[in-house]
């Protein structure tokens, strides 16, 4: 089984929403992971650069994380991964999972700093039964 180590080289986060305005209650978060290549470093090691982006709609913020993942394993596993990449097959799930995990953790820290909602769904509270019990509209503050 290959061993994957993820390195982050670049983190950029920008908040477009005014500080004094509440964040919209209907917010869509889009994440995108793009592995830009798989290069052989050694016979038993590969390098996979990536770009991970998080976008909000309405456009309240955007986060970009760039880095690379080193994949180590036996030579046949590395050849299979390179061959799959050249044949335009999806990357191995373990590679996508490793990069996504590291990127989401870094993004969570950045969302706290920027005071924007995190890119993961938060637990929801059941809605009140009647219109009379409707409370104030929720807002997000870190």
3-class DSSP state for residue 87?
coil
68 or 27, which is more confident? 68
Mean pLDDT of the 20-34 span: 91
Sequence ranges of the domains in the chain: 3-118
pLDDT digits 0-9 by tens, 36-56: 999 998 888 999 999 999 999
Using 50, 70 and 90 to split pLDDT, how confident is the model at 64?
very high
Mean pLDDT of the 62-69 span: 98
pLDDT digits 0-9 by tens, 85-110: 999 999 999 999 999 999 999 999 99
Residue 32 CA to residue 3 CA, distance in Å, equals 23
Q: Which CATH class is domain 3-118?
A: alpha beta
23 CB contacts (<8 Å, ≥6 apart)? 17, 60, 116, 117, 139, 140
Residue 68 CA to residue 2 CA, distance in Å, equals 15
pLDDT score at 113: 94
pLDDT score at 68: 98
Residue 75 has pLDDT above 70, yes or no: yes
């Amino acid at each position: 089984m290959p061993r994957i180590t993820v390195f982050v080289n670049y983190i950029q986060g920008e908040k477009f929403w005014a500080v004094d305005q509440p964040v919209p209650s209907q917010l869509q978060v889009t994440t995108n992971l793009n592995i830009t290549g798989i290069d052989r470093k050694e016979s038993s090691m590969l390098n996979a650069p990536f770009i991970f982006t998080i976008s909000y709609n309405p456009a309240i913020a955007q986060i970009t994380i760039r880095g690379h993942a080193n994949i180590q394993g036996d030579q046949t596993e590395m050849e299979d991964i390179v061959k799959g990449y050249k044949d335009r097959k999806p990357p191995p799930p373990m590679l996508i999972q490793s990069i996504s995990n590291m990127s989401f953790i870094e993004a969570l820290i950045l969302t706290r700093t920027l005071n924007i909602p995190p890119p993961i769904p938060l637990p929801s509270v059941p809605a009140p039964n009647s219109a009379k019990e409707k409370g104030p509209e929720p807002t997000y503050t870190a």
